[in-house]
Amino acid sequence: MAIMMSDLLRDLVEEVLIRVPLTSLRAVRLTCKKWNDVCKDGSFIKKHIVEAKKKQVMNEFEIIMMTDLKVYLMTVDLHSNVDPSMTLKGTLFSLKDDANHHHHQVDDIVRVFYCDGLLLCITRDLNSRLVVWNPYFGETRWIQPRDRYHIFENYALGYDEKKKYKIFRFVDDSYAYREEERICELELYSFESDSWKVVLLTVPPEWEIDYHHRGVSLKGNTYWYATNKNDKNDDVVFLICFDFTTERFGAPLPLPFNPCPTWDDIVSLSSAGEDQLAVLFQNVHTLRMEIWVTSKVEPTEISWNKLFLAVDMRQLIGFAFLSGTFFIDKKKNFAVVFDRDVGASYTRGIAYIIGNNGYFEKVDFGEAANQDCYPLVSSYVPSTEQITQLT
C-alpha cells in the first residue's frame, strides 16, 4: 500500500509539474529536492517535450532570445482567434559561468547557435570562449578554441548519425587582399574525445558565408545562406549545408526566390518544426517580404512548398528589416519578425506580427541597452541531452 501511495504521489507531482511553464520551472525545482529529481528524470523530460510541442500547436511558443549580449528563455502567446498578440511572460534564467563553482553572470555573449534544445554561446572576450548550455538542466561545458580567434569565424553545433555532438568552426577570410593571405580553416570539436581536429579542404570553396548570417540547425546538420564568389553580378545565391556525419559541405542547394536576392537584400533562415526550414526574403527596393517553407530538406537535396507568406512592407513599416530574424506559425499563417525600430533610430527592440490576411501588429520591447546587439530568436523545445562542465 505504501508503494502504491508513493507511485500515486509521483504521478501527482508529474501532473502538477508538467503544467508549470518553463519560465517558472527552475524556481519550482529549487523549492524541493524531490521535485528537482522528478524534473531531471528522463521520462518526465520527454513528457515535458511532448507538452511543449502541443503548446506550439495552440500558439504558445517557448523561444530563445539573445539581446543586449544576454540570452533569455521566454514564452510567447499568439492569440489568433480574434486579434493575434504577443506577450513575453518573463525570463527563465540567464546563463551563468559555473566553472570553478563561482557562478558568475555571463553578460558578454555576442552570438548564439541553437540545436535541438542545446545552445552554443560565443563570448566577446579576446579568446572567444565557447560554452555549450542546456537551459533545462542548467548545465554547461566551457570549451577553449584550439588555436586562434578570427573576426570572420563561424560556429555551429550539431551531431552525426550516431547522435555524437560536435562543434564546427569555419573561417574563410575572403576579404584578404591577396589569395595567398587568405585564411580558410575548418575545425571540429568532439564532445566524446574532448578535442579539436582540423578538417582539410581539398580546394577553398567558391562560395562565401557572410559571418553576419547565422546558420540554422535541422536534424543535426547546419544550413547557411551563401553567395557565389566568382559571380560578377552578385546574384547567384543558394543554401549550403554542413553534414556532421560526413564532416563535409554539400553542394549548393537552390532557393525559391525569383529574381534571386542581391547583396543588399534581406535573407534570413529559421526552422519550421523539426524537419522543415523557412526562409525570409525582403527586397530592399520594393520592400516586398516573402517567406517560403521547405517540403523536403536533406544535406544534398531541397525542395520548396508554395509561398507561405507574401506582404508589401512598404505600407506597413516603410523600410527594410535590418536582420529579420523570425519564426512562423504554420497553422495560423503568421510570422513574427524581430528587429530594431528604424523610426526610433534603431534604439528599440521590436517584434512585428504579420499575417496573410493583412493583419499587422507591432510589439515594442523597449530601449535596447546595447545598440550593437540586434535581437536574435529561435524556437525552443527542452533537450534530454546532458552536457556537463568538464572537470
pLDDT, residue 40, reads 75
Helix and strand totals (H; E) in the chain:
4, 27
pLDDT, residue 80, reads 52
pLDDT, residue 303, reads 95
Residue 160: alpha-carbon gap to chain centroid:
19
pLDDT in tens, 175-185: 555 555 556 77
Residue 124 lies in a domain: yes
User: What range defines the domain where residue 164 resides?
Assistant: 40-379
Indicate if the pLDDT at residue 3 is higher than 50.
no
Confidence of residue 379 (pLDDT cuts 50, 70, 90): confident
pTM: 0.83
Calculate mean pLDDT across residues 331-352: 78
d(CA 76, CA 221): 27
Residue 20 lies in a domain: no
Residue 274 lies in a domain: yes
Calculate mean pLDDT across residues 306-325: 87
Indicate if the pLDDT at residue 99 is higher than 80.
no
Residues 6+ apart with CB under 8 A from 350: 338, 339, 340, 341, 362, 363, 364, 365
Averaged confidence pLDDT in the chain: 77
Residue 106 sits at φ, ψ, to 5 deg, of -105, 105
Q: Where are the alpha helices (DSSP H) in the chain?
A: 2-17, 22-29, 33-39, 42-57
Percentage of the chain with pLDDT > 70? 73
Residues making up the chain, counted from first to last: 391
Cell numbers 521535485 correspond to what residue? 35
Confidence of residue 297 (pLDDT cuts 50, 70, 90): very high
Higher pLDDT: 116 or 366? It is: 116
pLDDT, residue 373, reads 63
Residue 171 sits at φ, ψ, to 5 deg, of -125, 125
pLDDT, residue 274, reads 82
pLDDT, residue 309, reads 92
Residue 208 C-alpha cell reads as: 562565401
Residue 25 lies in a domain: no
Report the DSSP beta bridge partners of residue 120: 113, 132
Confidence of residue 128 (pLDDT cuts 50, 70, 90): low
Residue 119 sits at φ, ψ, to 5 deg, of -120, 135
Burial (Cβ within 10 Å: 0-12, 13-18, ≥19) of residue 197: middle
Residue 19 lies in a domain: no
In eight-state DSSP terms, residue 204 is: -
Indicate if the pLDDT at residue 5 is higher than 50.
no
Residue 162 sits at φ, ψ, to 5 deg, of -95, 10
Q: Which of 289-293, 306-310, 359-363 has the highest mean pLDDT?
A: 289-293
Which amino acid is present at 59?
N
pLDDT, residue 115, reads 93
Indicate if the pLDDT at residue 28 is higher than 70.
yes
* CATH (domain of 184): 2.120.10.30
Confidence of residue 174 (pLDDT cuts 50, 70, 90): low
Higher pLDDT: 337 or 375? It is: 337
DSSP string, 305-328: -S--EEEETTTTTSS--SS-EEEE
pLDDT, residue 182, reads 58
Considering its fold, how many domains does the chain have in total?
1
Residue 155 lies in a domain: yes
Confidence of residue 1 (pLDDT cuts 50, 70, 90): very low
d(CA 226, CA 214): 11
Indicate if the pLDDT at residue 278 is higher than 70.
yes
Report the DSSP beta bridge partners of residue 249: 242
pLDDT in tens, 138-170: 778 888 877 666 667 889 999 999 999 999 998
Residue 143 lies in a domain: yes
Indicate if the pLDDT at residue 9 is higher than 80.
no
CB of 119 closer than 8 Å to CB of 113: yes
Indicate if the pLDDT at residue 195 is higher than 60.
yes
pLDDT, residue 315, reads 85
Residue 149 lies in a domain: yes
Indicate if the pLDDT at residue 304 is higher than 90.
yes
> Closest by alpha carbon to 334, among 114, 89, 79?
79
